[in-house]
Amino acid sequence: MSAAGKRLVGVAICAVVVCVLIGLYIGLYLTTSPGDASAAGVAGPNGTNLYLATVAASETTDPHPSWVSYYVVDAKDQNWRHATTFELPANSLVHVTIYQFDGQSGLRNPFIAQATGIIGGTFGLNGKPTVVIGPDTASHIFAIPQMGVSVPLSGVPDSAKNPCANAPCPLSTDHETITFTFRTPGKGLYRWQCFVPCAAGSIQGFGGPMQTVGYMDGFIKVV
């Protein structure tokens, strides 16, 4: 083979390798989904139960111990796990309980003080059926926009005598308990997020934990 032919073959091989690498990169990007579900709902007689907690600051051992965050807990507020990817069954009822230990931040848009997308249109706030909360008392929102689910979480008042700072927080400290039920759609990957600018100390309250998956947002794998 002539020198020119060898050069041509070399260039062609390099071009193919580059194309394959680009194809792999794009393919992996498009097919990559969050890792194994960090927390699966607990099956119950009338659906799946999901227990969560919100706290003003993560565990002291967390890479960001000052960041506000959601956690997965069990029914008795034990076994705190720092996870925001939840696996839930398709086309079924999910009963959510959120133990809310954080203070009040307030909503930018009072419109989202009303719950939407949940069974019955009401949620339980410390056992009391509730449709809407005072916008200034909101601490967080649990919202799954693609499912139309949005539930406001009341904050612990500033006057609380026994607040909890860092996770894990025992139920003996001041908290609000929010319960609601929604129905999952078909299989798929859905994102959820908080809509309150609750990332204290960051730009507009929407930096840090609001922009980092694993704190105030995550995914729901409906399987």
Partner 1 sequence: MNEVNHFRRVVLIWLVSSVILTPIVVLAAQGIPPGDGSVQAAGQTTDNGVLLGLSTPVALAVVVFFIYSLVAFRERDTAAVLDGPPVRGHAGVQLWWIVTTTTIVLFLAGYGTVRMLADGAGGGQGPNPIAKPTSSVPALPVQVIAQQWKFTFRFPTYGGVETNHLEIPANRLIAFHVTSLDVIHSFWAYQLGVKADANPGVDNVAYVQTKNPLTFNIHCAELCGVWHGYMFDTGAVVSGLQFASWIAQQRARFAPATKLLPPYAKQYFPDPQHRGG
Residues in touch with partner 1 (CB under 8 A): 68, 105-114, 116, 131-132, 134-135, 145-146, 148, 191, 193, 195, 197-206, 210-213, 217
55 in Cβ contact with 102 (< 8 Å): yes
199 in Cβ contact with 102 (< 8 Å): no
State the minimum distance, in angstroms, from the CB of residue 105 to partner 1: 6
CA distance 66 to 71: 14
Compare residues 47 and 103 and give the one whose CB is closer to partner 1: 103
Compare residues 173 and 202 and give the one whose CB is closer to partner 1: 202
Compare residues 80 and 206 and give the one whose CB is closer to partner 1: 206
CA distance 121 to 186: 21
Compare residues 41 and 218 and give the one whose CB is closer to partner 1: 218
State the minimum distance, in angstroms, from the CB of residue 111 to partner 1: 4
State the minimum distance, in angstroms, from the CB of residue 208 to partner 1: 9
State how beta strands 217-222 and 85-88 pair.
parallel
State the minimum distance, in angstroms, from the CB of residue 79 to partner 1: 28
Compare residues 11 and 132 and give the one whose CB is closer to partner 1: 132
The DSSP symbol for 62 reads: S
Whose CA is closest to 105, among 192, 38, 17, 201? Answer: 201
218 in Cβ contact with 191 (< 8 Å): yes
Residue 88, phi then psi, degrees to nearest 5: -135, 150
CA distance 208 to 192: 16
State the minimum distance, in angstroms, from the CB of residue 203 to partner 1: 7
CA distance 128 to 125: 5
Compare residues 71 and 219 and give the one whose CB is closer to partner 1: 219
State the minimum distance, in angstroms, from the CB of residue 55 to partner 1: 14
CA distance 60 to 78: 17
